Amino acid sequence: MMERRMDTALLVLLMGHLAAALEVPLDLPQPPTITQQSPKDYIIDPRENIVIHCDAKGKPHPSFSWTRNGTHFDIDEDVNVVMRPHSGTLVVDISREKADHYEGVYQCTARNKHGTAVSHNIVIRQSRSPLWSKERIKQIVVQEGVSLVLPCRPPAGLPPPIIFWMDNNFQRLPQSSRVSQSLNGDLYFSNVLREDSRNDYICYARFPHTQTIQQKQPITVKVLNQDPVDERKPTFLIPSGSSSSHTVLRGQVLEMECIAEGLPTPEISWIKLSGDLPTQRMSYLYYQKNLRIVNVSASDAGDYRCSAKNMLGSVHHTIHVSVKASPYWIGGAPRNLVLAPGENGVLTCRASGTPKPSITWAMNGIPIANSPKDLSRKVEEDTIIFTDIQMGSSAVYQCNVSNDHGYLMANAFVNVLSEPPRVLTPANKVYQVIKNHRARIDCAFFGSPIPKITWFKDSRSSTLDGDPYIQHDNGTLEIHTAQARNSGKYTCAARNMLGIYENHVYLEVKEPTRILKQPEYKVVQRGRSVVFECKVKHDPTLVPTMTWLKDDGELPDDERLIVDSDSLTITDVTESDGGVYTCIMNTTLDHDSASAELTVVERPDPPTDLELTDQKKRSVQLTWTPGDEHNSPIQKFLIQYDDSLHHRGHWHNLTEVPGTRTTAHLKLSPYVHYTFRVLALNAMGFSRPSFPSRMFKTEAAAPDENPKDVEGFGTEHDNLVISWKPLTGLQSNGPGLRYRVMWRQKAVESDWTTVTVSNNSRFVVSGTPTFVPYELKVQAVNDHGVGPEPAIARGYSGEDLPVAAPENVQVVVLNSTLAEVHWDPVPHKLIRGHLKGYKVYYWKERSLHKHNPYHMEKLILMFSGNHSHGMVPGLHPFSVYSFNVRVYNGKGEGPVSPTQQFDTPEGVPGAPTSLIVTNSNLDTLTLEWSPPHDRKGRITGYTLKYQPVNNSNELGPVEELALLANETSVTLPNLKYSTRYKFYLNAKTVRGAGPAISQEAVTIVDEALMSLLDVDVGEGTAGSTQSSHPLAQPPPHRLPDEALPVSPFGNVSSSVGEDGPLISWEYWGPEKNVYVEYMVENSEGEQEWQKEPVNGSQNVVLKGLKGGLSYRVRLVAKGHHDQPLHHSEELLVTVPAVASRQVDIATQGWFIGLMCAIALLILILLIICFIQRNKGGKYPVKEKEDAHTDPEFQPMKEDDCTFGEYSDNEDHKPLKGSRTPSNGTVKRDDSDDSLVDYGEGGDGQFNEDGSFIGQYSGKSGSRDTAEGHESSEAPSPINTMNSLNSFV
């Protein structure tokens, strides 16, 4: 027997692939197949007609018959029953017969000439919803704390009803861990409370099939609390005992419950003793009293324990769960089998269950044991094996699997056919798929024997049977990840022994739809607009459709919502617009979506319901209710008050509290009539103010504080002014506010003098000694008392002018520009006021040099504080100065110290006033200059330096020449002709050399062609030209008697710089903030000074000044805000217009091009002359005269092709057009601009552009006289080139 079983299993394995169910086309012969049938347990509604479904297909179309309760049901004999055409479905009309008359077990049979198929048994039962039996329910009276069960006991219905408890108002009764409903519908109380007393505990039963609800009579419960019930540990109300058992079927729902009573209310917990609870399939109901497990499997069998626990103890109950199973298929129900004659096949009916089910076979509805014998068929328990089957063996086989808990029944036919292959998928079908997605191309086929399927693509070069292609048994070709290269034509070929069939389909791989720019989260204030963008990329061959959703629903029908092709605009946003907006781009193949949230914010609504509580003399509690924050959290609340007693109608800020609080404890002042209001602040701003609170009046009291900022000072030498900052109305604390003013001399033992003032903030005490210290007090007083003891302030009576001058005044000259003055400080009592400092007045009496002008300009140097010496900077060297010293206080200056004098030594001289070039010759130049304007001593001599400058502005070697002090000119011999020179001249004293003045000039004869450059005053720098430097002029003259504060600047001058004027200076002041100011001289309007910071240096280049303008320049030192500015003397700087730099014409591109063109032209002329001469042509003079009547025309000479002069025989004057006379000389009175002859020994001269041409003269001594005369008549090409080159 075991050997036979193994053989069967091997045969099933070998032929398993043939068991795949093929869909037989309906145009081919086939046995019936049941396609629709009513459920096994069919509960009908008695109010509606009964419809019992049974449909089948087959070829030929099957006929139908029914059995009822195991016997034939003759439909024709029952007028209430009708079978639908072309169907086996029965329709029972219950209008003439009750529905329960047709209750029973029905079975449908469908047959044709190839076999018979039967349905499963259909049990017809009528649904029932009976009424509750009439009963009188007595009132239930219980003691508080005991347990209670209210029974429901609903009537049995079909299907069972759903139970729930409600009151008279159809409101569900509240349930909790103390009160809950059991599975059978009863209501359990673990312990009752007094609030459980009521007269409307009503149990309802809802019958779902008929949608009816039945109501039980109300139950009245009265809870007494006469004798308190002791607390107790839990006990189970259900289930009873310590253990119980429960059986459940596989796949169904397991429900277990444990309800316990006790005081306090016990808590329920569950565990599985034999394993873990299935957390994925389980849930707790009714406050963990019910454990529910869905889709039960064999693993759920075992012991479960529920525990009830309170503070007094615990109790346990064990539930043993057994899992049974009604029959279920293993690998699915038997499948239809299509075989060709001579083939083998297997029908399998694999099923299982608990207990193990039995399997029986039938053929065409008849037990297989009673069916006709078939030698090709062999039954082996759950398998039927067909071997070498032949035509005529087609039939329908029924497999029935059953045990104690149910049954399974399935039909499977065996159809013996001989058919060539066919493909059922439509030809030329186009499949479209998105790139990177799975693609499946169908090839639904049929044939007997089963055809073999082969796939080809495009050229059919090879079969598609490897990666990335997967071919399924049903013929489908799958591409796991489709790419663009997979697009094309595919061919499916079905082949068996009877033929071949091909079908063509097409695959198109499309680009995916993607949202490139997703909508973004927006926070928008109410009333504004918002735009959600949704930019999409999609395959161009697909038609996209954009859809917008709001909160997963359709957009509201509102004209404010504007949908464009790639955006959604919402105008005039309201709070209802807030939510999640989703854009969905759909095509026929795919879609993409993106969402963004819109939060509508607004300033918060004003707080409401302001209340004042906990009222005290100096405080009150304010509470309020916040308004709607409009999606923006409230950050804080601002509390304001209005004082209707002192300042009605003006709201003042009192305090702030965090946005999480709604109360504030307010500290108040006496004698104020308070009204409060509250404002809320969020990110959008403040809300509107709340409505004011009721008025709260505080009682008057004595002042809590005295005036602040008490000061004492004098406005006259014999008075004392006492001032203070008055109290506000809020600080007065009561009516009748006044001030008690008290004073006394500090150094004298005296009593306080007191006066009382009202409505004032100062009091003047007259007749005081001059500048005496006083102690001061100001106390606030009102009608309810005086303020606290005031603090003592100190002040002085009025000042008077000092009465003494500084003594022992001395001076020490440190250098030519700096001196130090010393003095003895004035005694404090003689100052008669607050010492402010000392002033040094000094002025220049005269210069020790007779050439320098006389000055009487007084300067002031102030030294703040108690100084005894000071530095006097900015002095002029080689000068006589006078000075004196004075002390000053807040009232003014004291007497003058005796005036003294001192001399300053010599210093470095300034630059020479001018430097000009005269008598420029070929190799000599004469320089003339003027002595420095500011000599600062006795001039001991001059130093002249000069050096050549080439066309590239490169400087040559420097020559130096020492000159005597009385010299004002010098002639420099042996200079290079036609050369530009740069000159530097400075003066010297015994202290050294001063700054240089520079100049440039070119050695040349003609003075009319000289390029004169502007004079540059300052320190010369090599390589600089005067045309780019300003001319420094002395500052404007001040009035001689004008006294000015001394400047901490000295030796302010300008010097040469390529980028602009270089301003240099010396500085000895203490201030750190130093800068240069400049402005255009004589500018119209009130032009402001332009500032240039110096960053701690003592020179700066002023860039960007306009040429041709004069500028006023000065230096400024700025101290603290209460100190005056220190200015230097103004320097007038002239920026000349920029002159064009001399350019070497020979290096210019245009000139080189011109010379090349002329040379080419001359070469062409020479070639023409040479050709004419070789021809031997002669041109008589007469012919030339006839042909050329122009008197200025110069004929060509025949012998050498040069241009000769046409002269009159009577007088040999040159023609107007001739370049030079025949003797080769030029008269000076004819033209000063004409060029001299190029003969040896001729004097060179300057051209108009300043270039020297004599050096380019050709040597004519080698020529003979005749040739010289001929060339003098007209220049040869070579001489022409030389003459042109002379302009270089």
Distance CA 177, CA 290 (A): 11
Task: Give 1210 or 907, the one with higher predicted confidence.
Answer: 907
Q: What is the pLDDT of residue 640?
A: 96
Q: How many CB atoms lie within 10 A of CB 261?
A: 22
Question: Given a cut of 70, is residue 1287 above it in pLDDT?
Answer: no
Closest C-alpha among 1, 94, 105 to residue 51: 94
Q: What is the pLDDT of residue 284?
A: 93
Using one digit for the tens of pLDDT, what is the confidence trace for 184-212?
999 999 999 999 999 999 999 998 887 88
**Amino acid symbol at 919:** N
Overall average pLDDT of the 995-1008 stretch = 74
Q: What is the pLDDT of residue 658?
A: 96
Contact 348, 383 (CB under 8 A): yes
Overall average pLDDT of the 1008-1036 stretch = 36
**Tokens describing residue 686:** 């403040």
Distance CA 493, CA 1020 (A): 104
Residue 645's contacts (CB-CB under 8 Å, 6 or more residues apart) are: 671, 672, 673, 729
Overall average pLDDT of the 1237-1266 stretch = 36
Using one digit for the tens of pLDDT, what is the confidence trace for 985-999?
999 998 899 999 998
Calculate Rg over the CA atoms of the chain: 63
Contact 820, 871 (CB under 8 A): yes
Using one digit for the tens of pLDDT, what is the confidence trace for 931-983?
998 888 889 999 999 999 888 788 889 989 999 988 999 998 888 888 888 99
Overall average pLDDT of the 1013-1038 stretch = 36
Closest C-alpha among 1064, 1062, 912, 907 to residue 986: 912
Task: Give 1258 or 601, the one with higher predicted confidence.
Answer: 601
Proportion of the chain in helix, strand, coil states, percent, rounded to 5: 10, 45, 45
C-alpha 745 chain-centroid distance? 69
Contact 901, 946 (CB under 8 A): no
Contact 681, 601 (CB under 8 A): no
Using one digit for the tens of pLDDT, what is the confidence trace for 146-184?
999 999 988 888 888 999 999 988 888 889 999 999 999
Contact 413, 59 (CB under 8 A): no
Q: What is the pLDDT of residue 1004?
A: 67
Q: What is the pLDDT of residue 1084?
A: 62
Overall average pLDDT of the 1163-1175 stretch = 83
The vertex-570 CA angle with 565 and 575, nearest 5°, equals 150
Residue 672's contacts (CB-CB under 8 Å, 6 or more residues apart) are: 643, 645, 646, 697, 698, 730
% pLDDT > 70, the chain: 83
Buried b (16+ CB within 10 A) or exposed e, 202-217: bbbbbbebeeeebebe
Band (1005; pLDDT cuts 50, 70, 90): very low
Residue 337's contacts (CB-CB under 8 Å, 6 or more residues apart) are: 18, 19, 345, 346, 347, 386, 412, 413, 414, 415
**Tokens describing residue 477:** 């070709």
How would DSSP label each residue in 13-41? HHTGGGGSPP---TTS-EEEEEEEE--SE
| DSSP type of residue 437 | S
Closest C-alpha among 800, 817, 802 to residue 885: 802
Question: Given a cut of 50, is residue 17 above it in pLDDT?
Answer: no
Using one digit for the tens of pLDDT, what is the confidence trace for 313-329?
999 999 999 999 999 99
C-alpha 258 chain-centroid distance? 60
Q: What is the pLDDT of residue 795?
A: 93
Q: What is the pLDDT of residue 222?
A: 92
Band (388; pLDDT cuts 50, 70, 90): very high
Overall average pLDDT of the 1114-1124 stretch = 73
Q: What is the pLDDT of residue 1035?
A: 37
Distance CA 1142, CA 875 (A): 43
Contact 1255, 1247 (CB under 8 A): no
| Tally of CA atoms within 13 A in the half-sphere of 1015 that contains its CB | 17
Closest C-alpha among 19, 24, 85 to residue 59: 24
Distance CA 677, CA 655 (A): 11
How would DSSP label each residue in 988-1025? EETTEE---EEEEEE--S-GGG------EES---TT--
Contact 1050, 1065 (CB under 8 A): yes
Beta-bridged to residue 640, according to DSSP, are: 653, 677
Give me the phi and psi of 494, to 5 degrees please.
Answer: -105, 130
Q: What is the pLDDT of residue 1051?
A: 75
Is residue 694 exposed (0-12), middle (13-18) or buried (19+ Cβ within 10 Å)?
exposed
Closest C-alpha among 193, 281, 284, 181 to residue 238: 181
Overall average pLDDT of the 1238-1256 stretch = 36
Question: Given a cut of 70, is residue 390 above it in pLDDT?
Answer: yes
Distance CA 1008, CA 863 (A): 60
What are the distances in angstroms from CA 215 to CA 168, 191, 212?
A: 11, 26, 10
Band (1140; pLDDT cuts 50, 70, 90): very low
Q: What is the pLDDT of residue 1188?
A: 40
Q: What is the pLDDT of residue 1102?
A: 82
Q: What is the pLDDT of residue 870?
A: 93
Question: Given a cut of 70, is residue 1015 above it in pLDDT?
Answer: no
Contact 822, 807 (CB under 8 A): no
Task: Give 61 or 1131, the one with higher predicted confidence.
Answer: 61
Contact 374, 345 (CB under 8 A): no
Band (215; pLDDT cuts 50, 70, 90): confident
Task: Give 1188 or 450, the one with higher predicted confidence.
Answer: 450
Question: Given a cut of 90, is residue 1193 above it in pLDDT?
Answer: no
Band (21; pLDDT cuts 50, 70, 90): low
Task: Give 1144 or 180, the one with higher predicted confidence.
Answer: 180
Give the chain's end-to-end CA distance (angstroms, integer): 131
Question: Given a cut of 90, is residue 1217 above it in pLDDT?
Answer: no
Least confident span in 701-715, 981-995, 1268-1282: 1268-1282
Band (1006; pLDDT cuts 50, 70, 90): very low
Q: Give the three-state DSSP class for 395.
A: strand
The vertex-131 CA angle with 128 and 135, nearest 5°, equals 150
Q: What is the pLDDT of residue 901?
A: 92
Least confident span in 392-406, 527-541, 733-747, 1135-1149: 1135-1149
Contact 921, 934 (CB under 8 A): no
Contact 863, 811 (CB under 8 A): no
Distance CA 675, CA 694 (A): 6
Using one digit for the tens of pLDDT, what is the confidence trace for 23-32?
889 889 999 9
Residue 966's contacts (CB-CB under 8 Å, 6 or more residues apart) are: none
Question: Given a cut of 70, is residue 1183 above it in pLDDT?
Answer: no
How would DSSP label each residue in 541-569? TSPPEEEEEETTEEPPS-TTEEE-SSEEE
% pLDDT > 90, the chain: 57
Torsion sign, CA atoms 18, 20, 21, 25: negative
Contact 199, 170 (CB under 8 A): no
Q: How many CB atoms lie within 10 A of CB 588?
A: 11
**Amino acid symbol at 108:** C
Q: Chain-wide mean pLDDT for the chain?
A: 82
Is residue 978 exposed (0-12), middle (13-18) or buried (19+ Cβ within 10 Å)?
buried
Q: What is the pLDDT of residue 851?
A: 58
Q: Give the three-state DSSP class for 99.
A: helix
C-alpha 811 chain-centroid distance? 70
Task: Give 224 or 1044, the one with higher predicted confidence.
Answer: 224
Q: What is the pLDDT of residue 488?
A: 92
Question: Given a cut of 80, is residue 500 above it in pLDDT?
Answer: yes
Distance CA 527, CA 546 (A): 27
Least confident span in 678-692, 899-913, 1033-1047, 1051-1065: 1033-1047
Question: Given a cut of 50, is residue 4 above it in pLDDT?
Answer: no
Question: Given a cut of 70, is residue 495 above it in pLDDT?
Answer: yes
What are the distances in angstroms from CA 750 to CA 712, 719, 742, 743, 746?
A: 18, 18, 12, 10, 8
Distance CA 1197, CA 1177 (A): 12
Band (1066; pLDDT cuts 50, 70, 90): confident
How would DSSP label each residue in 324-348? EEEEEESSSS---EEE-TT--EEEE
Distance CA 936, CA 909 (A): 5
Band (1144; pLDDT cuts 50, 70, 90): low
